[in-house]
Amino acid sequence: MLKPVTSEKAVRLIELNNTLVFEVDRRNNKMTIKKEIEEQFKVKIASMNSLIRMNKKYVYVKLNKKNPAIDVATRLGMI
């Protein structure tokens, strides 16, 4: 399950770095998360980092240059 993060930092990352931030289930690994994002939003991922903080897992997904993160964020209702 993907839950988009809509904090000020997340919106700034969308605009500046073409990066989306999601809160995901802690038991999922990077490969399953990457596959789910690429299939659900029909985008290509350039790189991905994960962070576990306060028992929650966050993934920072940098999209390919051909896929603007602002379009995905607009579809999700973040912007």
Give dist(CA 30, CA 42) in Å, integer.
17
**Cα diameter, the chain:** 34
CB 61 within 8 A of CB 43: no
Torsion of CA 8, 48, 28, 9, to 10 degrees: -10
CATH no. for residue 12? Answer: 3.30.70.330
| Number of domains the chain contains | 1
Cβ neighbours of residue 71 closer than 8 Å, sequence gap 6 or more: none
pLDDT digit string (tens) for the chain, length 79 residues:
899 999 999 999 999 999 999 999 999 999 999 999 999 999 999 999 999 999 999 999 999 999 999 999 999 988 8
Range of the domain at 72: 3-76
